[in-house]
A and B are shown apart, each in its own frame.
Chain A
Amino acid sequence: MTVKEAVELLKKGLSYARRTKCKEALAYYNQALALDPNNPEGWYLRASLLIDAGKNREALSDCEKAIALNQNYSDAWSKKSLALYNLERYEDALLASTRASTLNGNDISAWYLKGVCLDELGRSDEAQEAYGKSLELEIILDMKSEKNKVGR
């Protein structure tokens, strides 16, 4: 029962987060995690919110908890990379974004972050490759959404 309740609370939190009502979203996420700390999605969602609030250290800790529960959770790796990038830990961020893009080859943010980190580390040629991949995916996504708009 608590697992189900926790999922419902996460859904509520997410709907608040989408409307940028961060305080309310955080309250729901906290409740959900208190009920079910074994749900990696809860840690991941809270990490996303914390990054937006500039709390990168706390976000990093949440990402690590999510990853500990599911090693193949690509979104959590991607978010971890962003937290590390914001903390200017570029080498670590590069490792995390590489892991994220390996787990999910279609993750635009992961490829872009990889490019940004490589750029920061002075590996410009490799950065261009990662940017190229991210752009390719972004264009495909953008063309799809344009097509949907026309279809509507």
Chain B
Amino acid sequence: MKTEMPLSKPIRRFINHTEVTLDTEISLLRQPDAEPGGTLVDVYTYEIDRNVIIFPAQYVGLLKDFVIAKHCTNLLIKGAAVKKGEYHVCSYTSDSVYRGMRQIYLDALKDESGKKKKLPVQKLIQMLFLLFTHFNDDINELPWNAIINASVYHRMPKIRKTQLYHVMKESKNDMDEMMDQEEIIPRRYFVLNKAMFYSRDMFLAKTLPADELMPVLNIPQMKKFNHLEVKEMLTTRWTQTAWYQSKFFGDNMLEIMEKPLSLVNWNAEPTLDHYYELYKIGVNLSNHLLSYMTMKDWFVWESPQHLLEAHENNGAYEKDAVKKIFGDLVTDTWGDS
């Protein structure tokens, strides 16, 4: 790593450790329009000769350091998987897209039957693939986010305050997702989306530990569930709301998360074996979450290149699935515009 930007000692050491452990090179790049959480462009996913960590140009101090620590940990997990076995991500195929979209459609039909104001058919069809890819993104991000944050917390005690700020910011942004579509998308998927983030935040709130992260304190709609026991909730009209259901599903997901993650020795020697262990735990955790959400047959574990190709072909996959689900009901021009 060669950079003219100042870095705190623990971060410089961590970058060096990552480079030596993986026998690779890391570049740091400031960009004015970078994602707030930064981006990792890595050699295990893309055909490039060095890894690049991109972060917002206005991050000049510890905010930048945390982004770097997070992405170095991510890189170590990916690199360990490549060196010790195979690195796979949740990808999709034409068939799996069909299975996912069909399931979403069936659930949407159930919801729509009870609605006074129906969603226009064209909009409903468009929503199917959007929701499908949304969950693909989430499952490729969320379990890893929990693992990476827990690892950084234990390895980098000096940047914990910075981490707390980042995690809180991320949590608020994630919880805002889909909010403006609450009335449109099938309840089940709204609830599952919120439940995933809820469980991640609850896990991090316990791990970090930081009460501020708790969704029941942080999200206005969930505040009413704070200090309430399930029994009490059942006696209230909230049992029918998406937020109550999100908490219910989220608590179950938290249990799924905590089981494998509570066994991790976060302070173990940071070797390739340790990070490979984290990778395997991440894969298992993702599989358990997918099973719980009954989405296991929506995705396939494949190489990151497979996922990139899937993204390139997603227009064709969507079109095929729509054709299979609706047959001649939808014209041949679907998706061409």
B266: Cβ under 8 A from any A Cβ: no
Task: Please tell me which stretch of A2-10, A23-31, A67-75, A106-114 contacts chain B, meaning at least 4 of its Cβ atoms lie within 8 angstroms of it.
Answer: A106-114
Cα separation A139 to B58 with both chains bound (whole Å): 11
Q: Is B59 a contact of A52 with CB atoms below 8 Å?
A: no
Q: Is B6 a contact of A135 with CB atoms below 8 Å?
A: no
Q: Is A138 a contact of B59 with CB atoms below 8 Å?
A: yes
Q: Is A120 a contact of B59 with CB atoms below 8 Å?
A: no
Which of chain A's residues 114-142 have a Cβ closer than 8 Å to chain B?
Answer: 115-116, 119-120, 128, 131-132, 134-135, 137-139, 141-142
User: Smallest distance from the beta carbon of A94 to chain B beta carbons, Å?
Assistant: 12
Residue of B4, B7, B161 near A135 (CB, 8 A) is B161
Given A139-B165, A141-B58, A145-B58, A131–B8 Cβ distance below 8 Å?
yes
Cα separation A86 to B86 with both chains bound (whole Å): 39
Q: Interface readout for B51-77 with A: 1 if CB under 8 Å, 0 if not?
A: 000000011111100000000000000
Q: Is A115 a contact of B8 with CB atoms below 8 Å?
A: yes
Residue of B4, B60, B165 near A109 (CB, 8 A) is B60
Q: Is A112 a contact of B4 with CB atoms below 8 Å?
A: no
B9: Cβ under 8 A from any A Cβ: yes
Question: Could you say which interface size class chain B belongs to?
Answer: 10 to 19
Q: Is A120 a contact of B9 with CB atoms below 8 Å?
A: yes
Interface, chain A (partner B; CB < 8 A): 51-52, 54, 56, 82, 85-86, 108-109, 111-113, 115-116, 119-120, 128, 131-132, 134-135, 137-139, 141-142, 145-146
Q: Which residue on A lies nearest to B63, using beta carbons? A: A138
Q: Is A131 a contact of B62 with CB atoms below 8 Å?
A: yes
Q: Is B8 a contact of A142 with CB atoms below 8 Å?
A: no
Q: Is B62 a contact of A134 with CB atoms below 8 Å?
A: yes
Chain A residues in 8 Å Cβ range of B9: 116, 119-120
Given A86-B4, A116-B8, A135–B62 Cβ distance below 8 Å?
yes
User: Smallest distance from the beta carbon of A89 to chain B beta carbons, Å?
Assistant: 13
Q: Is B60 a contact of A116 with CB atoms below 8 Å?
A: no
Q: Is A52 a contact of B8 with CB atoms below 8 Å?
A: no
Chain B residues in 8 Å Cβ range of A108: 60-61
> Which has the most chain A C-beta neighbours within 10 Å: B6, B36, B58?
B6
Q: Interface readout for B142-165 with A: 1 if CB under 8 Å, 0 if not?
A: 000000000000000010011001
Cα separation A11 to B53 with both chains bound (whole Å): 30
Contacts A52-B4, A119-B8, A142-B36 known; 19 new A-B pairs at CB < 8 A: A56-B4, A82-B6, A85-B6, A86-B4, A109-B61, A111-B61, A112-B60, A116-B8, A116-B9, A119-B9, A128-B158, A134-B62, A135-B63, A135-B162, A137-B61, A138-B59, A138-B60, A139-B165, A146-B36
